[in-house]
Amino acid sequence: MLSRIPRRSPTTSRTRSRAPRAEIAWLLVHEEIFLAEGLERGHFEWVELPTPATMAEIVARHDARHEELTRAHEEAAGLSVEKRMPFTFQGQEVMNETGYENGWITLFDQVHHRGQLSDVSPAHGIDRAADLRA
């Protein structure tokens, strides 16, 4: 899906959000990393990372870690995902939900971000159905 994001305009054109596409795409990649690493550690820590300079760099970072992160997600089934796992931001605990609940929260956030990107897709000739299969 990331490789289909238009690179011409830095912002989404018809959405309520004026967030740059690259920032939204980076959130998708960063959240995948956040979830896999959090499940492995048994504790989630959100660290703000700067958005890479180009979409090509975002896609490259995703591609470089995607298989490793997919394996980590698959292996999480064998971990104690039913136990509470703290979620911290800037050293402060903001939630203490189960691994499953953190997974669902992250998934819903990703669905939201994909929606932010998808409403510009038809204007740029992008097949939404193909994005959902990606």
Structure tokens at 12: 């989404």
For the beta carbon of residue 76, count every other beta carbon within 10 angstroms. 18
Read out DSSP for 43-80? Answer: SEEE---PPPSSHHHHHHHHHHHHHHHHHHHHHGGGS-
CA–CA gap between residue 65 and residue 32 (Å, rounded): 10
Distances (CA, A) of 25 to 45, 56, 57, 81, 127: 20, 11, 11, 27, 17
Q: Using the structure block, give the residue that is written with the tokens 């136990």.
A: 83
Amino acid found at 66 = H
Q: Using the structure block, give the residue that is written with the tokens 């104690």.
A: 80
Do 98 and 105 form a contact (C-beta atoms < 8 A)?
no
Burial 19-41 (b: 16+ CB within 10 A, else e): bebbbbbbbbbbbbbbbbebbee
pTM as predicted: 0.72
Look at residue 120 in the predicted model and tell me its pLDDT. 54
The domain ranges of the chain are: 20-133
Look at residue 95 in the predicted model and tell me its pLDDT. 94
At residue 69, what are phi and psi to the nearest 5 degrees? -70, -35
- The residues of the chain scoring below 50 in pLDDT are 9-18, 131-134
3-class secondary structure, 106: helix
Look at residue 82 in the predicted model and tell me its pLDDT. 87
Look at residue 3 in the predicted model and tell me its pLDDT. 61
